[in-house]
Structure 1
């Protein structure tokens, strides 16, 4: 039963009952801070219902029951409050009502993170001798591998597997693939979309498919298995499947190895990033991450790594230095699927721990 089919009086009565905690919406129009909406959208229950309905239409959201829709509206309301309040306080970045605005934060974390850091396969291959040489003066002031043609479209990992499990997610596969796609283009000149699904299905010695993994393990698998197939030959299913390494007998893209960037060393990360896209791990469990919409992110986050992404450039905007990060939450999130994260924070681990666990694949032509 669609909510819009209810008589207006009954519909409004339901939402008024649900909105007893919404006195915060009476703030003055000049304090309004929701990007893309007029001040009146936050000043009445009527307009709030309209805002929710328009958000549903924009993102193609549908629910199985009126009860589920009312529950999601309550969550939407709370998220709207968070976005509004945070935008009043922020200066370098802003939040928005993206496609995740009907998801509670704990639910979001369970569905869309998934990095698993452990000691089963110790990190090695660190290029300490090369990267600890302090010859960074020759690095370019900015790099953008998107403009150099080494970055494929933003993909969407979705809610892979059983989202009820903690840290369920396939982010590690998307981070790995983005880095391999990058070095393959740099070496061969061919920008080829590669298969995350193959990693999820086949890389099971140390990684756990939709239940999390780590990029270094995936690089090791790609070397030992003889490469990754194309995305079109082994498409993403958003669930674990049966390993088919020789699917369609198509050509695989190979790498020769991988290296770890020295931990907690931002200059070394930039040096690596000046040469190719790099897999990085971050803590993305902060609530602002869920609704990030644009700007240079300098919000509060820790260094407990829980999400795999790919650094694809760096630069400076209005005096604020940043790293360009490609996420795997689809092109509607952030800046068309990307986030700019502040660098030069003065903390060795960097914002959200971005300097702690970076690595990149190598490829011999």
Structure 2
């Protein structure tokens, strides 16, 4: 009997091996899905009419696109949270969303260099105008619903965010005051504001000061946007006004309650830090960062056109100038009434609004 033991062991081993082989045949090992990044990149490039001067440059941009795609996927997996919504019990919501857009072939630093535009050279905060705290304000404001906001525009690679933010604020004020919504000229500011550097960057305060000094600003149809530095059309600057402006005011810095009172009256410009890739690929929800709250690091101008809250979270509603392909159809919700005084991305560090 003892002599048959090795044969029994051998038979058992063979049976085990056969069983494992049959299991593997029935359940082949999981293979990673094929890498379709190249196909995605080709479709993306076609959608946005992207072309490159050389094969080497195209390969570089493909690598950046692939890295951005992977970052977006990883970030999405980290941003869901469970909350109780009304009487419906726990609901899983995405607190902030990111997604691929026209900026997919740019690293965050490249993006900030090409599509922002606040130039702090010579910037000195203006004397603030305090709004009485007893001033009436609604719990929610959205100037779009009042017809005081034109469609989202695109600054292109001209660093003219300051001009777009200024114009959006003037458009809103003009509609509220006159009842007429007119799309106004950013190009006039790019060409004529000597206090700024055109497509090299600029400031809202110098833009508003120029318009106030000349008494108004031309319509976009009469002075269309080219996205390049041009020669100032002095006749239009001086005499062709489709909206009048007498001055501008600064909201007290680092005071979101004062900013709320100002936005309750009209759209207001703010500076923010838009340096992070999460800001670059923002596609929805309430943005809380990452971004800097340091006023010295702001690099972009946007226009706050409202405020409200969702799921108990307060937010500012801001119009951007990166086309309606970015964000929530061109808008971003920024967390409101945060713990630090400068606000989300330092938005409370230097707000302005025009007066008539």
TM-score normalised to the size of structure 2?
A: 0.83
The 5-angstrom pairing of residues 59-208 of structure 1 reads 59-91=48-80, 92-119=95-122, 122-128=124-130, 131=131, 133-135=132-134, 138-160=136-158, 169-204=159-194, 206-208=195-197
Counterparts of 2:165 and 2:49, CA distance in 1: 27
Match of 2:14 in 1: none
Counterparts of 2:274 and 2:245, CA distance in 1: 28
Q: Which has the higher strand share?
A: 2
Residues 116-167 of structure 1, C-alpha deviations (whole Å, 9 max, x = no match): 22445x3334212xx2x4326x42111000110000011100111xxxxxxx
Identify the match of residue 302 of structure 2 among 299, 304, 309: 309
Give how far 1:104 is off: 1.9
The 5-angstrom pairing of residues 1-365 of structure 1 reads 43-45=33-35, 47-91=36-80, 92-119=95-122, 122-128=124-130, 131=131, 133-135=132-134, 138-160=136-158, 169-204=159-194, 206-247=195-236, 250-302=240-292, 303=294, 304-363=297-356
Residues 13-58 of structure 1, C-alpha deviations (whole Å, 9 max, x = no match): xxxxxxxxxxxxxxxx9xxxxxxxxxx9x9422x222222222233
Distance 1:355 1:90, change over 3 A: same
Report the count of equivalent residues.
Answer: 309
Aligned residue for 1:108, secondary structure, equals helix
Q: Answer whether contact 2:208 2:354 (CA < 8 A) is retained.
A: yes
Counterparts of 2:49 and 2:121, CA distance in 1: 38
Distance 1:140 1:98, change over 3 A: same
TM-score normalised to the size of structure 1?
A: 0.81
Counterparts of 1:48 and 1:118, CA distance in 2: 42
Counterparts of 1:280 and 1:146, CA distance in 2: 18
Aligned residue for 1:280, secondary structure, equals strand
Give how far 1:88 is off: 1.5
Aligned residue for 1:296, secondary structure, equals strand
Counterparts of 1:109 and 1:124, CA distance in 2: 26
Counterparts of 1:74 and 1:119, CA distance in 2: 39
Q: Considering only CA atoms, is the larger Rg found in Structure 1 or Structure 2?
A: 2
> Which one is further off, 169-178 or 299-308?
299-308
Q: Answer whether contact 1:125 1:258 (CA < 8 A) is retained.
A: no
Moved over 6 A (4+): none
- In structure 1, stretches of 5+ residues that fail to align are 1-28, 30-39, 161-168
Counterparts of 1:71 and 1:295, CA distance in 2: 31
Aligned residue for 2:77, secondary structure, equals helix
> Which one is further off, 272-281 or 210-219?
210-219
Distance 1:255 1:247, change over 3 A: closer
Give how far 1:330 is off: 0.7
